[in-house]
Structure 1
Amino acid sequence: MAVNDSKAEAKSLFIAAGCNRIVNNVSWGASDLVSFGAQNAVAIFCPKSAQILTTLPGHRAAVNCTHWLPSNKFAFKAKHLERHYLLSGDADGTIILWELSVANNKWRHVLQLPQSHKKGVTCITAFMVSQSDAIFATSSSDGTVCVWDAVFPTTSGGECKLTCLETLIVGSRPMVTLSLAQLPGNTGLIALAMGGLDNKIYLYCGERTGKFVRACEVKGHTDWIRSLDFSLPIFSGERVSILLVSSSQDKGIRIWKLTLRGSLADTEDTHPRGEISLASYIEGPVFVTGSFSYQISLESLLIGHEDWVYSVQWQPPSVVAEEAVSFYQPQSILSASMDKTMMIWQPERKTGIWMNVVTVGELSHCALGFYGGHWSPDARSILAHGFGGAFHMWKNIGVGTDNWQPQKVPSGHFAAVTDICWARCGEYILSVSHDQTTRIFAPWDNHDPQSNGDSWHEIARPQVHGHDINCAAIIQGKGNHRFVSGADEKVARVFEAPLSFLKTLHHATSEQSSFPEDVQADVQVLGANMSALGLSQKPIYVNATHEVQDNPGHDGLDTLESVPDAVPVALTEPPIEDQLAWHTLWPESHKLYGHGNELFSLCCDHEGKLVASSCKAQSATVAEIWLWQVGSWKAVGRLQSHSLTVTQMEFSHDDNLLLAVSRDRQFSVFKINRGGMDEIKYNLIERREAHKRIIWACSWNPFGQEFATGSRDKTVKIWGVEKTSSVKQLLTLPPFNSSVNALSWVGLDRRRNLGLLAVGMETGLLQIWSLHVERGDGSISTPSVTAAPIIRLDPFMCHVSAVIRLVWKNRENNENCTRLQLASCGADNSVRLYEVTID
């Protein structure tokens, strides 16, 4: 990846992203990896490490569906595969096929399916005919269902042969769920079940060569069909049958049996004596396809969920013999519902009546439940994804008896991430998003000598808000951890770390963090509670919790004023979603009133004494920058310069200058003079129209008075503030391919005035440039700058949508370090962390 002589490389350390809130988005493959859509990216995570491994770029719209080939259903056929494949479909109707090479974990964009759907893809399902041959079906809200045959290459990098077998037009009510299977008996016939926005299941049958015809309709549900899944063949006596499980918005689950009648079945008694029980099925339609006839019957009706059942899935078959020729299809179904629960259903041994044997779920305040549930290939774990973009996983750790326990999973924002900042000493990253949450990600020392060091996890969710959050700034300087956030309201809010977070951070870093034990004793706030009808987070004091515990008859808790769920605790291992959503809030200490519109940008000086804020603006009076004094939180300045929204601000590293850039294409440099106790003087020393389009980003040189600006006009310019307080342009980098949305400058060598500039673009791509500032012998007032690109990050490591913010980890204490960490956030809902190594 290095472009010039110096050896430099970047690797991805961590990715956080939430799951798109849509049904059929998640797939657990035979590879034991989980795929899901995160905005326009296809994200891949490893359940064992609870880390997102990579994101696949290529879609230009939100990813609706993913499906592994082979999926967990065919894991018994995939023990020694060298390559696994993945299908992904988006809201524009585009479907992409990806290849994963198991040997080196490398991904390849194989092909994009010919434009078959004109609207969003709603479901993808597949049937593995053999290890190198798959039939898959895709449905779309344009009212079509396509059936495809894919033949995979036998050698690495070979071509994949793709054939469209059939395009079915299903009418004005689109299908939202599909399932494929081979019909029972060695008939070579394929069944395609589909359901959608009416209460019928439609069954189509066809041969491998194509030409699918509608065989019959199956009626029984009273509301929309949400999920369908065929089992693999089940052998009962001499008769071969397959089962189809269906779920609906009528809260019910139905199991249907498809049995080959043949010539014998016409004469035999369908219910042999002695076998009739409460579970005897109700006969449904008979359909004929080719020269065979099949009987459909209702096997069972499962009632237990209290809301729409969004997904049902048969437990993956297990291998009976090592040769993987024979397999056993367990009689076990996983269902996931909007009632926030997942259930496992199995028939009783004696009666055959299907019963709910396991129920797991989320009991937090989250508004809505689960969009889908998935088995692991070995059926020891189950995974759900929900309305909050979050995953929930349980693993059966019991021996002999079931014991399902929650497990760590990746987490992240489920809307655009609008700002990030590093903690003062780099212990964690704080991010804010339009999903109305603030999150903290930190490395967790897992004390495992075999692991590759620390793994990053979300350790706290300090703010859960009612407005989209646009910006944040961590308060620098000494004292407790504090941050300011600004949202789509006219108020900035100040938050202070509670005792429970300080102890959690101490566990995570397993070393003396920047907040020693003796100072922790001064923190009297244990955590925070969200008032049910408000936006403020009220403190829970250390002593108050004991009073509540000592008084079980205390009846004043369960009121509209406070919600009693919050129990702040110090976490000794990375938290799961339930703990994050409710038990890791920070109390709000101040509100900063003054702006006329929604907050847009915030920054703090390096001493931790001043915070600057700006809001969305269409006029000069509203576009003022406000200065706030940390501690007293008084407004100590209103800086007027711009006529439109100030998009980013940054204090110079000596805190004497404040730089602001704006939508009005201008930058401003203010001189900040600190007087007595509360006295702040400021004056505008330069305002200049610097670019032809909006200026999105700016960043100061840590070693001097130079700064960079980046604009929608695809350019980055370097400027210098001279001793006469005038600003001169020093350099313009060669034009980039798209709008420059984010910049961050870090120092490498103070003596040689060498630094790195990270550039983030609207396409999601990242570049890192080396910048060398030469100031001469002092007689030359204007320095010269030389720049060279040293790293262009691989698109598979980058964001798939616009980069919004870049921030290097503060390295003032260790300037000669050759390993740097760069955090980024973007419109693709992700927070990413890179390690950059310079030799």
Structure 2
Amino acid sequence: MAPSAGDGYVEVERVFIGAGCNRIVNNVSWGPSGMAAFGAQNAVAIFCPKSAQILTTLPGHKAVVNCTQWLPSSKDASKVKDLEMHYLLSGSADGAIMVWEVHLKQREWRRVLQVPEMHKKGVTCLTGMMISHTVAIFASTSSDGIVLVWKMVLPSTAGVDCKVSCLESLSVGSKPMVALSLAELPGNTGTTEDLVLAMGGLDQKVHLYCSDQTGKFVRACELKGHTDWIRSLDFSSPVCLGSENKNLFLVSSSQDRSIRIWKMVSHVSSANSELPSKREDIGLTSYIEGPIFVIGSTCYQVSLESLLIGHEDWVYSVEWQPPLMLNGSEYRQPMSILSASMDKTMMIWRPERTTGIWINAVTVGELSHSALGFYGGHWAPDGESILAHGYGGSFHMWRNIGMDAENWQPQKVPSGHFASVSDVAWARSGEYLLSVSYDQTTRIFAPWRNEIWLGNKASWHEIARPQVHGHDINCVAIIQGTGNHRFVCGADEKVARVFEAPLSFLQTLNHANFQKSSCINDFPEGVQILGANMSALGLSQKPIYAHADSEAPSRLHNDMPDSLETIPDAVPTVLTEPPVEEKLAWHTLWPESHKLYGHGNELLSLCCDHEGKLVASSCKSQSATVAEIWLWLVGSWKAVGRLQSHSLTVTQMEFSHDDSFLLSVSRDRQFSVFSIKKSGEGASHQLIAKHEAHKRIIWACSWNPFGHEFATGSRDKTVKIWAIENGSSVKQLMTLPQFRDSVTALSWVGRDPACNAGLLAVGMDNGLIELWSLSGGRPATACGSELLPFSAVLAVRFDPFLCHISTVRRLAWRNFDDSDSRALQLASCGADHCVRVFEVHCR
């Protein structure tokens, strides 16, 4: 990170990225480097399955990323050994295809080019293969019904851009193709002309195109048999069975729930030779002969090798196991296929040793009743792990840890939201980060202290999912002060909900922090809430008590066998290691303790004072009466105040750090400052200032931790600094230089109380983040009674590769009990589905 513009030096380091996978078929690609790529909203995310951490997100696409493809792929390992540079293709919903360069040793990423935009609609599938160290062929298909074949020439030296040219444009018909696979023909001579392209889609047929000696792709044949849309195709590497010539296998899957394996056999033909004759010895394992076509001097016979029936829903993905190295040099294609289905299972299919009949050898899946199946399944390069991505934006990975027999066990994977993340909040002492999203979930991310990874730092994981809601969640506030962990959240409903940490979470937090939590004994005497269950209609989460009647559930099921109440009970567990998706989705819920009624529209903003006594809430509004701010007394949860000032929606609120003032900003372009005085059974309030501060909507505000200065940020691309004078009026201190885009998030952290110094984090609509060093505006002990001039200096602009791809929704500095003044942590969330944590070093 570049040095700051001020006196000091500021370094920013990425600590954590949490993001879910776009819920689209063909979205994930696992390359021979061991890294997996996937689309997270408009970004291409890269994660390392070994560490279960997202390494980076690549900005550039202007629409949702639909598909990714590594070059070289896992099948190309035999052709391109020891390549330092790998390339990644990504296609998006606006028809754009981008090429990224990845330096494996240095873990550096670079966008090398955008392929000429020839697709008029979204790219739905990419497939490719390496012809040599410097030449790759790839194909793309789109909703516009066109399949394009491209040639990419890779540079022989570092730092030189690659070149891409379009070889062919193929149109099969009015119904678009959605699945592609590319391979070399069996018996080929090693030239670029000996290629076969398979495509399938909405017309329920598999179309084979082969390249002739001119390099043009010509129609070879059609394979019929599927009775619904074809969703996935994959060629094997050449296979040599007995004394036969090398064979090529193609596997296809469909929404008709079936998987078909096609066999392609080559025969050298001449002008006088006849086409292969039909076999007379038809046995149990023989194939059904299909089309025959001739390319050059070679004749190819395509046959149906096997029909696999086992899935109970659409089969979205099939993939051959990557070739494995034998004897240090030779590669062999394992006869093993991985399939993923919307029936929540992945299956590994292999031919039985004695009969040769293909059977389902391994089945793994997601048992959670709330899941809706898998969009894709992928092999690790070594074939010992399999990865699936599901409807909930989640990853699921299993690894074979068996010695003599197969034993596939769930593994840790990255996780995160699969829709825009609307708010984040740190726990009182910074032990964890809480986020809420339009995906209707609340998630808790924390560093797992007893796991050490890169740089001797704790790896971050999602450790709980307290709320699985029926509405998009807009805001959250963690209750400060003493007592058990609690939070209040507001969603697209008129009710705010209060959640309280169960005993299972507190004990899990002990394991994550590697120390004893101080809150385990904060429950009322004689009551221990272990966890929570979702109610039948999913409208609330009911507590599970430690001493509950164990016969109650079975009695309930016997009395009402057809009731919705037969939803399986959650089993709260204390986690001693980062949990997998199946546990997160159902067994880490928090019980809902209260509902706060009063607002007339959907909740939009929440905040809690630093003492943990009051919570303020606001809702969407187009009138002054609905735009009022409600104050709630923590504990009794009574409404103790209705603050009226704004005429439109209040977008954010924050209590001053001494809790004497409440600041609110609104769509009406004004901010309001209320004085707050607490009493035993409530609080009194008074409006002391109201000012039209900006020319456009004010999105964000933040208080100075050391005093009564505050900042406001607006759509007019400005940030203004204000100060309260004599507790009764407000004056403007300064306006920061205009920003590049709308300011959507602010967070102010203090560094030196003596000179009122701090850092203001500014998030923008374009996803970028800046840090500004603020100081002065009050007497310093060393300077007598003279006021230091208030100054603001740009400390650092975050590298775009560190930042969000779209709007920054919220910024929050971490509260450390024993923090180093030079090391700060900043959390951010955005419309790109990401939660990010940065470490800021000030030198």
Secondary structure in structure 2 of the residue aligned to 1:503 = helix
Deviation at 1:835, TM superposition (A): 0.3
Aligned residue among 704, 713, 735 for 2:716:
713
Whether the 8 Å contact between 2:467 and 2:589 is mirrored in structure 1 is yes
For residues 723-761 of structure 1, give each alpha carbon's deviation from its aligned partner in whole angstroms, at most 9, with x where no partner exists.
Answer: 151100001000000000000000001112110000001
Deviation at 1:678, TM superposition (A): 1.4
Structure 1 residue 283 and structure 2 residue 289: aligned?
yes
Structure 1 residue 809 and structure 2 residue 814: aligned?
yes
Letter in 2 for 1:316: P
Secondary structure in structure 2 of the residue aligned to 1:834 = strand
Determine the C-alpha separation between the residues in 2 that align with 1:83 and 1:260.
Answer: 35
2:30 aligns with 28
Seen in structure 2, the aligned counterparts of structure 1 residues 426 and 286 have a Cα distance that, compared at 3 Å, is same
Structure 1 residue 307 and structure 2 residue 313: aligned?
yes
Determine the C-alpha separation between the residues in 2 that align with 1:522 and 1:114.
Answer: 68
Determine the C-alpha separation between the residues in 1 that align with 2:489 and 2:523.
Answer: 25
Letter in 2 for 1:341: T
Deviation at 1:268, TM superposition (A): 6.2
2:450 aligns with 446
TM score, norm. by length of structure 1: 0.96
Letter in 2 for 1:364: S
Seen in structure 2, the aligned counterparts of structure 1 residues 272 and 262 have a Cα distance that, compared at 3 Å, is farther
The count of corresponding residues between Structure 1 and Structure 2 is 832
Seen in structure 2, the aligned counterparts of structure 1 residues 626 and 781 have a Cα distance that, compared at 3 Å, is farther
* Stretch of structure 1 that moved more, 129-138 or 569-578: 129-138
Determine the C-alpha separation between the residues in 2 that align with 1:506 and 1:655.
Answer: 30
Whether the 8 Å contact between 1:601 and 1:615 is mirrored in structure 2 is yes
Letter in 2 for 1:218: L
2:93 aligns with 91
2:224 aligns with 219
Whether the 8 Å contact between 2:177 and 2:200 is mirrored in structure 1 is yes
Seen in structure 2, the aligned counterparts of structure 1 residues 553 and 631 have a Cα distance that, compared at 3 Å, is closer
Q: Within 5 A, what are the aligned runs for 1:107-256?
A: 107-187=109-189, 188=191, 189-207=194-212, 210-236=215-241, 237-256=243-262
Q: Within 5 A, what are the aligned runs for 1:418-457?
A: 418-448=422-452, 452-457=456-461
Letter in 2 for 1:145: V
Deviation at 1:546, TM superposition (A): 4.9
Seen in structure 2, the aligned counterparts of structure 1 residues 243 and 521 have a Cα distance that, compared at 3 Å, is farther
Q: Within 5 A, what are the aligned runs for 1:358-437?
A: 358-437=362-441
Determine the C-alpha separation between the residues in 2 that align with 1:554 and 1:644.
Answer: 49
Whether the 8 Å contact between 2:527 and 2:545 is mirrored in structure 1 is no
Secondary structure in structure 2 of the residue aligned to 1:580 = helix
1:691 aligns with 694
Please, which runs of 5 or more residues in structure 2 have no aligned partner?
none
Determine the C-alpha separation between the residues in 1 that align with 2:343 and 2:735.
Answer: 57
Whether the 8 Å contact between 1:75 and 1:377 is mirrored in structure 2 is no
Aligned residue among 336, 355, 360 for 2:359:
355
Deviation at 1:132, TM superposition (A): 2.3
Q: Within 5 A, what are the aligned runs for 1:1-80?
A: 1-4=2-5, 5-80=7-82
Whether the 8 Å contact between 2:212 and 2:218 is mirrored in structure 1 is no
Letter in 1 for 2:825: Q
Determine the C-alpha separation between the residues in 1 that align with 2:183 and 2:25.
Answer: 21
* Stretch of structure 1 that moved more, 149-158 or 314-323: 314-323
Letter in 1 for 2:808: V
Structure 1 residue 531 and structure 2 residue 535: aligned?
yes
Q: Within 5 A, what are the aligned runs for 1:320-331?
A: 320-323=326-329, 326-331=330-335
Secondary structure in structure 1 of the residue aligned to 2:596 = strand
Deviation at 1:449, TM superposition (A): 8.4
* Stretch of structure 1 that moved more, 517-526 or 284-293: 517-526
Deviation at 1:258, TM superposition (A): 1.1
Seen in structure 2, the aligned counterparts of structure 1 residues 46 and 815 have a Cα distance that, compared at 3 Å, is closer
Structure 1 residue 342 and structure 2 residue 343: aligned?
no
Determine the C-alpha separation between the residues in 2 that align with 1:377 and 1:691.
Answer: 55
Deviation at 1:690, TM superposition (A): 0.4
Whether the 8 Å contact between 1:748 and 1:816 is mirrored in structure 2 is no
Aligned residue among 294, 303, 309 for 2:300:
294
Whether the 8 Å contact between 1:481 and 1:496 is mirrored in structure 2 is yes
2:508 aligns with 504
Deviation at 1:808, TM superposition (A): 0.2
Seen in structure 2, the aligned counterparts of structure 1 residues 816 and 499 have a Cα distance that, compared at 3 Å, is closer
Secondary structure in structure 1 of the residue aligned to 2:131 = strand
Determine the C-alpha separation between the residues in 1 that align with 2:774 and 2:560.
Answer: 59
Structure 1 residue 623 and structure 2 residue 624: aligned?
no
Secondary structure in structure 1 of the residue aligned to 2:659 = coil
Determine the C-alpha separation between the residues in 1 that align with 2:29 and 2:525.
Answer: 47
Seen in structure 2, the aligned counterparts of structure 1 residues 523 and 501 have a Cα distance that, compared at 3 Å, is farther
Structure 1 residue 567 and structure 2 residue 568: aligned?
no
Seen in structure 2, the aligned counterparts of structure 1 residues 304 and 706 have a Cα distance that, compared at 3 Å, is same
Deviation at 1:777, TM superposition (A): 7.2
Q: Within 5 A, what are the aligned runs for 1:461-480?
A: 461-480=465-484
Determine the C-alpha separation between the residues in 2 that align with 1:186 and 1:72.
Answer: 20
Determine the C-alpha separation between the residues in 1 that align with 2:533 and 2:100.
Answer: 45
Structure 1 residue 317 and structure 2 residue 323: aligned?
yes
Determine the C-alpha separation between the residues in 1 that align with 2:275 and 2:492.
Answer: 72
Deviation at 1:266, TM superposition (A): 3.5
Seen in structure 2, the aligned counterparts of structure 1 residues 421 and 208 have a Cα distance that, compared at 3 Å, is farther
Structure 1 residue 787 and structure 2 residue 789: aligned?
no
Deviation at 1:250, TM superposition (A): 0.5
Seen in structure 2, the aligned counterparts of structure 1 residues 681 and 267 have a Cα distance that, compared at 3 Å, is closer
For residues 512-546 of structure 1, give each alpha carbon's deviation from its aligned partner in whole angstroms, at most 9, with x where no partner exists.
Answer: 22425586976511110001214110111110165
Determine the C-alpha separation between the residues in 1 that align with 2:51 and 2:30.
Answer: 15
Secondary structure in structure 2 of the residue aligned to 1:130 = coil
* Stretch of structure 1 that moved more, 798-807 or 160-169: 160-169
1:700 aligns with 703
Whether the 8 Å contact between 2:453 and 2:459 is mirrored in structure 1 is no
Whether the 8 Å contact between 1:133 and 1:150 is mirrored in structure 2 is yes
For residues 37-62 of structure 1, give each alpha carbon's deviation from its aligned partner in whole angstroms, at most 9, with x where no partner exists.
Answer: 00011000000000000000001111
Deviation at 1:365, TM superposition (A): 1.5
Letter in 1 for 2:171: I
Whether the 8 Å contact between 1:174 and 1:196 is mirrored in structure 2 is yes
Deviation at 1:562, TM superposition (A): 6.0
Whether the 8 Å contact between 1:697 and 1:742 is mirrored in structure 2 is yes
Secondary structure in structure 2 of the residue aligned to 1:774 = coil
Deviation at 1:341, TM superposition (A): 0.3
Deviation at 1:355, TM superposition (A): 0.4
For residues 404-454 of structure 1, give each alpha carbon's deviation from its aligned partner in whole angstroms, at most 9, with x where no partner exists.
Answer: 000000000000000000000100000000000000001112355887231
2:842 aligns with 838
Letter in 1 for 2:246: V
Please, which runs of 5 or more residues in structure 1 have no aligned partner?
none
2:754 aligns with 751
* Stretch of structure 1 that moved more, 207-216 or 799-808: 207-216
For residues 586-613 of structure 1, give each alpha carbon's deviation from its aligned partner in whole angstroms, at most 9, with x where no partner exists.
Answer: 0000000000000000000000000000
Determine the C-alpha separation between the residues in 1 that align with 2:780 and 2:43.
Answer: 51
Deviation at 1:384, TM superposition (A): 0.3
